[in-house]
Amino acid sequence: MQFANFIGLLALIGAVFAVPARAETPAELLTAFGLDARQSDAAFKGFSTQRGQQLFQQTHGGEWSCASCHTDTPSASGKHAKTGKAIAPLAPAVNPDRFTSSAKVEKWFRRNCNDVLGRACTSQEKGDVLSWLLSIKN
């Protein structure tokens, strides 16, 4: 095979496999939290929007709650408690970019749960919060 042909073939193979990563949906992420929660707790009984709201709005022994930055109404824009930087709304109904990448979602839960609860959140807790956020319509 000539060199140019070989390069062309490589490019073709690359094009076939370089399908852009499909955006995830909040519903898919919620399903994944559910599967994980069931795996770590056989008694898992689904998510609760009420528990999610409580977790989000209450402090947990520290200075901050999730609402300190995201406000009590996640359909509104928030503001970083320390730097004052604007934070786009969390509720997917008003901000369709939210909860469309599991990597991003995991990163922020990791950081923010550590800030608010001083530990990682469980899949149960993440699912509770997400189901509450999904219940908010504008």
Binding residues (CB under 8 A) for another protein: these are 80, 82-85, 107, 110-112, 114-115
In the complex, the smallest distance separating the C-beta of residue 26 from another protein, rounded to whole angstroms, is 19
Q: Quick one: 2 exposed, middle or buried, by C-beta within 10 A (0-12, 13-18, 19+)? A: exposed
Residues 5-20 as b or e (16 or more Cβ within 10 Å = b): eeeeeeeeeeeeeeee
Q: Which is nearer to another protein, 7 or 120 (CB)?
A: 120
For residue 86, the SS3 value is: strand
Q: Which is nearer to another protein, 38 or 115 (CB)?
A: 115
In the complex, the smallest distance separating the C-beta of residue 67 from another protein, rounded to whole angstroms, is 16
Q: Which is nearer to another protein, 36 or 115 (CB)?
A: 115
**Distance separating alpha carbons of residues 32 and 36, to the nearest angstrom:** 6
In the complex, the smallest distance separating the C-beta of residue 44 from another protein, rounded to whole angstroms, is 27
Ramachandran angles phi, psi of 78, nearest 5°: -105, -175
Q: Which is nearer to another protein, 15 or 61 (CB)?
A: 61
